[in-house]
Structure 1
Amino acid sequence: MTSIPARRILTTGALTARTTCLRAGVSNVLVAPLALRAAFGSKSCAATVPRWQLRRQTYTPGVRWSTTAATGSKIWTFEEIQSLSTSTTTTPKATIIDVREPGELRSTGRIPGALNIPITTSPDSFHITGEEFEDRFGFARPETDAEVVFYCKAGVRSRAAAGMAREAGWTDVGEFPGSWIEWSGKGGAVER
């Protein structure tokens, strides 16, 4: 006896049921599984389900990326960032880090005193050695126990940067969720 591959049997059975329904005048159907078709008989259209009655499966992500802050981040307000940027002390309370790309900084400027670590083109910046960091960016990397505050244009990249810094061992991480949009909208000082 010749054996027929299971795929061919399933395809043939599905086509037979579909052809039967098409001959009966029902065209918007999907063929139900073999077990269901067997319960109704091979010639019955009752084993098919109209497409509009099928429940569509939607993808629901397990992680929400648009929360107000990365877990454990201190949220900084416009006023707090403004007082930090105008502080005249030799050792500031926190280091402000702009994670936008250099081209964005050239066109808009930055918050006075902020350091630029572009997170999109340098996502490994918190995982490299201090010497490599200084070679790449031209300034010393903030210490892991120093307070750092991230901002970008709208707060999305700064949230990601805060999470990456925390994963790399920084403990005192903050975010300015209003970022550049709020800073420029409220008339904050601009350094070019």
Structure 2
Amino acid sequence: MVSTFLVLSAVIRFVIACQKIPLYYGTLDPALALPGGLITSVISSCQCCAFCNNNELCKSFSFRGSTGECTLYSKVGSYPTFLRQDWGAEDTEFYIMPRSSTTEEFCRQDEDCVNGEPCLGRVCTTNRTITCLSIKELNPTINTHTFWGAVDGTEIRLSCLMDVQGGGWTMLVDAIFNFFWQPADVLSLNSIGQGGVHTMGQHYSALW
């Protein structure tokens, strides 16, 4: 009966992990890859997840669809160890395993944080506000992109400009030069893309 329960728990953990969308596109520092953790000719992220689930040392993994490369990691990873892919080069999906995240590591929900912190801005932290500047300070070489952040405990998506004038700029709204900043114009420009994510292709207002 106990062995059946353990097998069932493992299957549920595997299914939950495989159903989750990738946290970000990118990889971790190669030093965090498990020995023998680079597996080639994998056909899907779900198969890569199965390899991770069957290795008790695996806490996260990345899957590169174009080459079928699956890499297993010994840690969930955090901003200082994460190598985020650029716009237009998003080929490698990064996933984390449930209930495996420690302080300042990536997470998907509160239950993932094993040290008792809440999951805010997709990081296990007690900081209630996480901005682009916060992320830039954690990883000075991180790329311009969208990230998860938080304002006073409420999770939000951030559009971060990381490679201009020191980086760490939070993009507030898209704008077009010489257009009036009327509410209708702002709403129209910021309704482009999935979930209203900024395109970063226009002029913009930014907060540092």
TM-score, scaled relative to structure 2: 0.21
Higher helix share: 1
Q: Which has the higher contact order (CA 8 A, sep 6+)?
A: 1
- Asked which structure has the greater CA Rg, the reply is 1
